[in-house]
Amino acid sequence: MKTFIPANQKGGVGKTNTAFNFTHYLAEEGKRVLGVDGDEQGNYSRVMSEYVQVGAGASQLFGDAPVVLPDVTGAITVLPADKAELRAVERAGASDAQLVSNLRMRLAELAPRFDYLVIDSAGSNSRIANALLFVSDFAVIPTKIDQDSIDVSVEVLKRVVSIRNSWNPGLVNLGILPNEYDSRQPAQVKSLKALLGRYPQHIFPAYIADRSAYREASAAKTPVWRLKSETDGRTKTSAREAAVEMRAVFRMLLDRMEAQS
């Protein structure tokens, strides 16, 4: 089981948008996917509500007992954000090291049943978000192209590199992924160029543009390439463009992950 996480402690940069669309993409590629919502906000749980395991919750991954998943039937299984329990884990007396150790054990038990684990985590510097990043194999850093988001994303990039160098040598940095990018805005074009100039090897070689189709797909709980017009049931033009761009990014991500044994 390979673990993928869109990581950024900045809020609203596209972590959930990436995670939920990618979960569907992997399933369509024939992978058995476990999705985990480690964010109390529960945005991923909402968009993935059709696939949620009733009676199970992401907080159980931090507990002492194996997680029981009674009805894994389709290609996608989701451990939703059980908000009160996640909050309790966050505030519990267990050390950060204990949280990571429990998480590793719980995931190892689930690993034979899934090809990929997709994690959605909170846009904050929480213990849970940190533990989830610690045990991941592949991190992508979605960012908006404004100065505040870029500053935080570069910090996250350095954190990923430092986790790789110390605690988790298996953590592959897939790079900073520009999201909600608007190439008609000179300030964004300039900022992206500057970012590329400074960290050429750490910027993902494609971007996700600012398109209303992403928000509509999230509202409709569907991956953007399956978004249909409410009036005539046809795929919308904006969704078609979003689909092409997002699937190209996902193809590259998957190829990179599949290339690692």
Ligand X SMILES: Nc1ncnc2c1ncn2[C@@H]1O[C@H](COP(=O)(O)OP(=O)(O)OP(=O)(O)O)[C@@H](O)[C@H]1O
Which H helix or E strand runs over 157? helix 147-166
The Cα–Cα gap between 252 and 22 comes to 12
Q: Is 153 a residue that touches ligand X (CB under 6 A)? A: no
Choose which of 15, 24, 31, 202 interacts with ligand X (CB under 6 A): 15
Choose which of 43, 59, 60, 222 interacts with ligand X (CB under 6 A): 43
Q: State the minimum distance, in angstroms, from the CB of residue 177 to Mg ion.
A: 14
- Which residues does residue 119 pair with via DSSP β-bridges, in sequence order? 36
CB 5 within 8 A of CB 168: no
Choose which of 5, 13, 79, 81 interacts with ligand X (CB under 6 A): 13
Cβ closer to ligand X: 7 or 110?
7
Q: Tell me the window of 38-46, 109-117, 170-178, 195-203 that interacts with ligand X (CB under 6 A).
A: 38-46
Q: Is 180 a residue that touches ligand X (CB under 6 A)? A: yes
Tokens 């009805």 belong to residue: 71
Residue 232 DSSP one-character state: T
CB 182 within 8 A of CB 210: yes
Residues of the shown chain interacting with Mg ion in the complex, contacts defined by CB under 5 A: 15-16, 43
Residue 138 DSSP one-character state: E
- Which residues does residue 143 pair with via DSSP β-bridges, in sequence order? 178
Q: Which of 11, 13, 5, 12 is nearest to 178 (CA)?
A: 13
Q: Tell me the window of 30-38, 92-100, 184-192, 205-213 that interacts with ligand X (CB under 6 A).
A: 205-213
Cβ closer to ligand X: 57 or 123?
123
Q: Tell me the window of 13-21, 60-68, 163-171, 250-258 that interacts with ligand X (CB under 6 A).
A: 13-21
Tokens 């089981």 belong to residue: 1
CB 102 within 8 A of CB 61: yes
Q: Is 211 a residue that touches ligand X (CB under 6 A)? A: yes
Count residues contacting ligand X (CB under 6 A)? 19
- State the residues that interact with ligand X by CB under 6 A: 11-17, 39, 41, 43, 123, 179-180, 208, 210-211, 214-215, 218
